[in-house]
A and B are shown apart, each in its own frame.
Chain A
Amino acid sequence: MKILYPFVAVLGLILIAFLGVQVGLAPVFGIVFPYLALLVFIGGFINKVVGWGKSPVPFRIPTTCGQANSLPWIKQNQIDCPSTTAGVVARMFFEVVLFRSLFRNTQASVYDGPKLRYGSSKYLWLFALLFHYSFLVIVVRHMRLFTDPMPFFVPVLEFFDGILQIGAPTLYVADLILVGAVLFLFVRRVLLPAIRYISLPADYFPLFLILGIALTGILMRYYLRVDIIAIKQLTVGLATLSPTITGEIGSIFYIHLFLVCTLLVYFPFSKLMHMGGVFMSPTRNMANNNRMVRHINPWNDPSIKPHSYMAYEDEFREFMAEAGLPLEKELPAKEEAPVADEPTAEKE
């Protein structure tokens, strides 16, 4: 069920777009939805990040993945346990660009003995890297449809992505890598029992959605084929805020576009927000300098003053003495004598 529902949902989206265009709603799917989706995406993204920004971080909680700053003759791991801003920047850079924390991924396995073994597991890191970068290449490459004239990097990217010169239209390598990587990420969730156990519909839905986008795009480019000039008129029109639909555009284009719009709308409300979240996570973006800089909890009530032990003992000394607790400073002997004498005097 956790797999079936998201799958049916994506099929439903495809059906909605297909039927919608059949009944003449092409302008809605081609013009209204893309604008709405972009607004929801940007608005939702900003809202989410601002919400995170408003959340106080009560403790300095960087994850320490290496030797912390210590005595001068102990070598610090400057990237995995940074104590300076420069170190944090380096750590974030490697995290965002190379997924360093995934590279450290380990796989626990039990073998004869029984013995527990932790082995290096780089598959997730490798395919996550392939997935994200091929997705980036594809998004940037799509700028050929949204800009006129095109920025210089688009033709360069086109050249390298189509360098195999297979078929016409030329096969893009990134298309193959993306589909392969998404399939790996899906199969990983299904085959590994531990991962399957923790996987939710919200994990499968984005995978199916992105796979749907990739497959409709591939279908559109290599098999069904569409009038690219008519499409570019629409997409450049969208970018220049004066969209018009001219010529015959196949429904496969609207299905592809509708899935992309769904992705944009879904993005800010889902796990996909790790795009912004990676920059906002305190376990990564804080320096491990607890012993150099005092971190003050923003929740602290300013009316509550610091209370030292000596002040505490001053306040409760008599009761502590009565209970026989050890004291830093004994009760003054002068006061004790009259207190002890008075009752006897009264009795006399």
Chain B
Amino acid sequence: MMYDSGKIITGLVIFVIMITFPIWYNVGGAEQLPKVEKPVGKKECVQDTQFMRTSHMALLNNWRDEVVRSGERQYQVVEGVKYEKSLQNGCMNCHTSKAKFCDECHTYAAVKPYCWDCHVQPKEIN
């Protein structure tokens, strides 16, 4: 027999509902994996795919510091291909669309990088 069972069971029900939040919240939600648009006809980037997946933000952050603070604007040369240390003149030469490349994963993972606080987002032309 439990004393104050009404209050205790109510509390426990609230507790279980809160703990299992991700389980019931996702019900009916359309789980859509990010679909990243890859550049046509290009296979190589400045680093390998896995590195870019995990650490592109660190790379960009380093570039930002090198360019803005130290004025080191020299090109990054990887396997004979020149890449400019620049978001808009480097990365976005191949990955042309912010919406179809950057935002896909960033939205999925709730990341809001502050790149676009300073950079002007290139207009999407269709």
Give the B-binding residues of A (Cβ under 8 A). Answer: 38, 41-42, 45-46, 49-50, 53-57, 143-151, 154-155, 158-159, 165, 167-170, 225-230, 232-233, 236, 239-241, 247-248, 250, 276, 279-280, 298
Q: Which residue of A lies closest to B57 (CB)?
A: A168
Query: A45-B15, A49-B8, A225-B58 are contacts. A144–B110 as well, Cβ < 8 Å?
Result: yes
Quick check: A155 and B3 within 8 Å, CB to CB? no
B40 beta carbon closer than 8 Å to chain A: no
Binding site for A on B (CB under 8 A): 1-5, 8, 11-12, 15-16, 19-23, 25-27, 29, 31-34, 50, 53-55, 57-58, 60-61, 105, 108-114
Which residue of A41, A148, A168 is within 8 Å of B26 (Cβ)? A148
A248 to B2, CA, bound (A): 49
A143: which B residues are within 8 A, CB to CB? 21-22
CA gap between A247 and B49 in the complex, in Å: 11
5 A-B pairs with least C-beta separation: A146-B22, A239-B22, A168-B57, A144-B110, A168-B61
Q: What residues on A are CB-neighbors of B3 within 8 Å?
A: 53-57, 298
Are A148 and B21 touching (Cβ within 8 A)? no
Output the least CB separation between A6 and chain B (Å): 26
* A225–B8 touching, CB < 8 Å: no
Q: Which of A229, A233, A241 meets B53, CB within 8 Å?
A: A229
Residues from chain B with a CB closer than 8 A to the CB of A144 are 109-110
Chain A, Cβ-Cβ closest to B58: A168
Q: Which residue of B lies closest to A165 (CB)?
A: B114
Bound together, the chains give a CA A165 to CA B116 distance in angstroms of 13
* A-B pairs under 8 A by CB, number: 103
Other-chain contact of B112, A159, A227, A236 (Cβ < 8 Å)? A159
What separation, in Å, do the CA atoms of A229 and B2 have in the docked complex?
Answer: 46
Chain A residues, Cβ within 8 Å of B34: 229
B12 close to A158 (CB less than 8 A): no
- B29–A149 contact, CB under 8 A? yes
In the complex, the answer to whether A236 meets B50 with C-beta atoms within 8 Å is no
The distance in angstroms between the C-alpha atoms of A143 and B109, with both chains bound, is: 10
A53 touches B8 (CB 8 A): yes
| Extra A-B contacts (15), CB below 8 Å, given A145-B109, A147-B25, A229-B34 | A41-B19, A50-B8, A53-B3, A53-B4, A54-B3, A143-B21, A148-B31, A155-B112, A158-B110, A168-B58, A168-B60, A169-B57, A169-B58, A239-B23, A250-B54
Closest to B32 in A: A148
For the complex, give the distance between the alpha carbons of A181 and B5 in Å.
36
Shortest beta-carbon distance, A224 to chain B, in Å?
8
**Distance, CA A170 to CA B110, complexed state (A):** 12
Q: Are A229 and B22 in contact (CB under 8 A)?
A: no
Are B109 and A53 touching (Cβ within 8 A)? Answer: no
CA distance A57 to B31 in the complex (A): 49
Residues in chain A near residue B113, CB distance under 8 A: 168
Taking the closest CB of chain B, its distance from the CB of A153, in whole angstroms, is: 11
Q: Is A233 in contact with B33, judged by CB distance below 8 angstroms?
A: yes
Provide the residues of chain A in CB contact with B4, threshold 8 Å: 53
Expressed in whole angstroms, the Cα–Cα distance for A165 and B23 within the complex equals 32
Decide if A229 touches B15 in the complex (CB within 8 Å). no
Residues B110 and A54 in contact, CB atoms below 8 Å apart: no
Q: Is the CB of B109 within 8 A of A147?
A: no
Q: Which residues of B contact A167 (CB under 8 A)?
A: 61
